[in-house]
Amino acid sequence: MLYFLVKMAHIIGAAVLLGTGAGIAFFMLVAHLRGDPREIAGVARTVVLADFLFTASAVVLQPITGTWLAWSSGYSLGDGWLAASIVLYLVTGAFWLPVVWMQMQMRDLAVAAVATDGKLPARYHRLFWWWVRLRLSGFRGRADDLLADDRPSGHSILGLGSPSGQPTCLITQPERGAWPTHPALPRLIAEPSPRRGQLPRRPSRPA
């Protein structure tokens, strides 16, 4: 039971990292395009708070739960897919730290513009475009991190195996050569598809 609770926390943490990052990027981009310093200041305050509450918590939680799951499942952190995932996680974190600093700087510049009833300075625009580049790089690293979380067993990225040694995950792939057991499937496979311009043949009624 403890294993599956930790596993669920690990999956939720990955979703929080990706989802919070996407939401923050969307709201900051919309506020910037509208160009209102007052709106940018308000959105930037919320964005910085969300990063510290949600993203930072998930950043701390992910390596703890991931290491525990790998240890419980008998994996070594030096395995190829795990090592690649760890490296990509560190690269993504290296992009995230300056992004948070830039958000705080843009917030302060927008607040100063509101206080003086002026326009956003050129430094704000330079920070914003660097922020966009680093955000996109962080998303790419996070996506590669998820894709690297794969194992020779062929199961999806959502599982790390079970303590008994049998890999388990929330989404599994069927074995090679296995077909879904649907009653209409043999008939659909046996009947050839109609040619172009030809109506499908009606099934014959029983005598």
Q: Is the pLDDT of residue 39 over 80?
A: yes
Torsion of CA 56, 16, 20, 80, to 10 degrees: 80
Of the candidates 103, 104, 95, the residue with the CA atom closest to the CA atom of residue 59: 95
For residues 130 and 125, what is the distance between their CA atoms, to the nearest angstrom? 9
What's the pLDDT score for residue 206?
58
Q: What pLDDT band is residue 148 in, cutting at 50, 70 and 90? A: very low
* Residue entry with tokens 């979703």: 15
Phi, psi of 164, deg, nearest 5: -80, -5
Q: Is the pTM of this model over 0.85?
A: no
What's the pLDDT score for residue 196?
52
For residues 70 and 50, what is the distance between their CA atoms, to the nearest angstrom? 29
Tokens representing residue 154 in the block: 């062929």
List CB contacts of 21: < 8 A, sequence separation 6 or more: 55, 96, 135, 138, 139, 142
Average of per-residue pLDDT across 157-170 = 42
If you count them, how many residues does the chain have? 207
Model confidence pLDDT, tens digit, residues 11-38: 888 888 888 888 888 999 999 999 899 9
SS3 content of the chain, % helix, strand, coil (to 5): 65, 0, 35
Q: Are 58 and 17 in contact (CB under 8 A)?
A: yes
Model confidence pLDDT, tens digit, residues 101-147: 999 999 999 999 999 988 999 999 999 999 988 888 766 545 544 54
Q: Are 88 and 148 in contact (CB under 8 A)?
A: yes
Mean pLDDT estimate for the chain: 74
* Residue entry with tokens 């109506």: 199
List CB contacts of 85: < 8 A, sequence separation 6 or more: 66, 145, 148, 149
Choose the weakest-confidence range: 13-22, 133-142, 158-167, 193-202: 158-167
Tokens representing residue 127 in the block: 């920070």
| Domain ranges (residues) in the chain | 2-148
Q: Are 33 and 42 in contact (CB under 8 A)?
A: no
Average of per-residue pLDDT across 183-205 = 50
Q: Are 44 and 106 in contact (CB under 8 A)?
A: yes
